[in-house]
Amino acid sequence: MKTKPHESSKHKSTDVNNKKAVILLSGGIDSSTCLAIARERGFELYALTMDYNQHHRVEIEAARRIADRFGVVRHEVIELNLRQFGGSALTADIDVPKDVDQGEIGDEIPVTYVPSRNIIMLTLAVSWAETVGAQDIFIGVNAIDYSGYPDCRPEFIEAFQMAVNRGTKAGVEGNAFHIEAPLVKLNKAEIINFGFDLGVDFSLTHSCYDPVDGRTACGRCESCLLRQKGFGDAGLVDPVGYDPA
């Protein structure tokens, strides 16, 4: 039985005709499904992608494909070179872990954690939302089948929403922001099923943290393993090819 995407008990977007939403779009399964959910709820779509000089920059191409497929009003790619800081296997010369036992994924924060990435991305999203007059910001964080990142948990989303509503002109003037995390309580199979039902073409997405030749999914990193398990549990075939080696 499918679980419905999570909505805040304090804010349910029922009448959203002509309302705008900013959606953080990485080009992966979760963010693409969030984009589909926002469209299904009737929002005008403003997609925001962050080019932080990640090793798997091919995901930016995936984000462009998804944004084009969904006909977003506007898609912005923000460049911010987090490789200057390093501190992550995605932004420094640190090996991406491979072949981790799936039962151990999420037990501790892995080296693929990029310090404060979601905080940075959400802050940029709030800035753009305030500029274009949007109150809803969608982020595809998930706290069930995920890698254990601290900025993917419901308590972080709630705290961030409180902070931005106290520290922005829109927030203090009564036009509160709503940080929408509709996937936060779903497992990967449920997310894939919802995305499929909402018309997400998963062949356009990219999940791998360490793609072979910069493009082909390795099939062995945590992100690939979670993706493969999700498609298997959902009873669907993953349309993305993996390195045969």
Angle between helices 222-234 and 188-197 (to 10 degrees): 60
Asked, for residue 32, whether it belongs to a domain, the answer is yes
* pTM of the predicted model as reported, rounded to 2 decimal places: 0.90
Cα-Cα-Cα-Cα dihedral of 21, 24, 28, 31, to 10°?
-40
129-138 mean pLDDT? 97
- Tell me, what's the pLDDT at 8? 39
Asked, for residue 113, whether it belongs to a domain, the answer is yes
Would residue 241 count as lying in a domain? no
Give the pLDDT mean for 48-74.
Answer: 97
| Angstrom distance (rounded) from CA 206 to CA 208 | 6
Residue 152 covered by a domain: yes
pLDDT in the model for residue 147: 65
Residue 208 in any domain: the answer is yes
**Strands across the sheet containing 20-24:** 74-79, 44-51, 20-24, 136-138, 178-180
CA angle 194, 42, 58 (to 5 degrees): 55
Class of residue 203 by CB neighbours under 10 A (exposed 0-12, middle 13-18, buried 19+): exposed
Q: For residues 139 and 142, what is the distance between their CA atoms, to the nearest angstrom?
A: 9
Q: How much is the pLDDT for 144?
A: 75
8 A C-beta contact, residue 231 and residue 207: no
Non-local (6+) Cβ contacts of 82 within 8 A are 52, 53, 54, 88, 91, 114, 117, 120
Which residues touch 157 (CB under 8 Å, ≥6 apart)? 139, 141, 179, 181, 184
CATH number at residue 125: 3.40.50.620
Q: What per-residue confidence (pLDDT) applies to 213? A: 87
Segment 174-219, tens digit of pLDDT: 999 999 999 999 999 999 999 999 999 999 999 999 999 888 999 9
pLDDT of residue 103: 62
List pLDDT tens digits, range 145-165. Answer: 666 788 888 999 999 999 999
Give a yes or no: residue 120 inside a domain: yes
Q: Point out which residues pair with 138 in neighbouring strands.
A: 23, 180
- Which pLDDT belongs to residue 105? 59
What is the Cα gyration radius of the chain?
17
Asked if residue 35 belongs to a domain, the reply is yes
> Would you place residue 243 in the very low, low, confident or very high pLDDT band (cuts 50, 70, 90)?
confident
What's the chain's average pLDDT?
90
- The CB-side HSE value for 9 (13 A sphere, CA atoms) comes to 1
Which residue has tokens 């099939």? Answer: 219
Q: DSSP 3-state assignment of 32?
A: helix
Indicate the number of domains in the chain. Answer: 1
- Supply the pLDDT for residue 2: 45
Three-state secondary structure along 159-200? HHHHHHHHHCHHHHCCCCCEEECCCCCCCHHHHHHHHHHCCC
**What is the domain extent for residue 53?**
20-234
Give me the phi and psi of 191, to 5 degrees please: -60, -45
Residues 6+ away with beta carbon under 8 Å from 84: none
Query: Do residues 188 and 142 touch, judged by C-beta distance below 8 A?
Result: yes
- Is the pLDDT confidence value at 10 over 50? no
Give the per-residue pLDDT at 104. Answer: 60
pLDDT tens-place string over residues 18-55 = 699 999 999 999 999 999 999 999 999 999 999 999 99
Is residue 216 assigned to a domain? Answer: yes
Residue 4 scores a pLDDT above 60: no
